Amino acid sequence: MRFLKSLKFAFCGFAHAINYERNMRIHTVFALYVLVFAHFFNLSRASWAVLLLLIAMVLFTEMINTCFEELCDMLSKEYNHHIRIIKDVAAGSVLVFAVFAVIIGFILFWRVNILMHIIHVFLYNPMYLAILILSLIISAIYVHLGPIGIIKVFKNKK
């Protein structure tokens, strides 16, 4: 029973990060697109493991950054030089990991023939292109408003 309770708390923490942290939503959107497009590349098991580990680590560092921000905001509402450093360093850790994830992504995915094939698939299949454009619009709304903001929009329409 304790395990289920701790699992519930963990999911609540993840949901909080998604609901209240725009950067977390940006990372989840990029992760989703990377996972979808990775199927074009016929990656090895080791490459999939690296890719999944990178995604997990970027999400992890963003959530740890959120923890530091929340803790610092709880400790002091007014400006504090030390708290500013803590928040900046935590945010910098996310940036470092995200930049290296992008570099490793280029190493895994920079295959011109496959990239050209992907472009060809979308240019010559209007349905796929429409789905891609629609998914980009939905992703932008998700990143901008977040789940709570989207729910508020729909509640206000009624």
DSSP per position, the chain: -HHHHHHHHHHHHHHHHHHH-HHHHHHHHHHHHHHHHHGGG---HHHHHHHHHHHHHHHHHHHHHHHHHHHHHHH-SS--HHHHHHHHHHHHHHHHHHHHHHHHHHHHH--HHHHHHHHHHHHS-HHHHHHHHHHHHHHHHHHHHHHHHHHHHHHHH-
Share of the chain above pLDDT 70, in %: 99
pLDDT of residue 158: 61
Fold of 26-110: Helix Hairpins (1.10.287)
Is 21 among the residues known to form the active site? Answer: no
pLDDT above 80 (res 67): yes
pLDDT range class, residue 147, cuts 50, 70, 90:
confident
State the pTM of this model. Answer: 0.88
The catalytic residue among 21, 62, 69, 78 is: 62
Domain segments of the chain: what residues? 26-110, 111-143
Average pLDDT of the chain? 93
Share of the chain above pLDDT 90, in %: 81
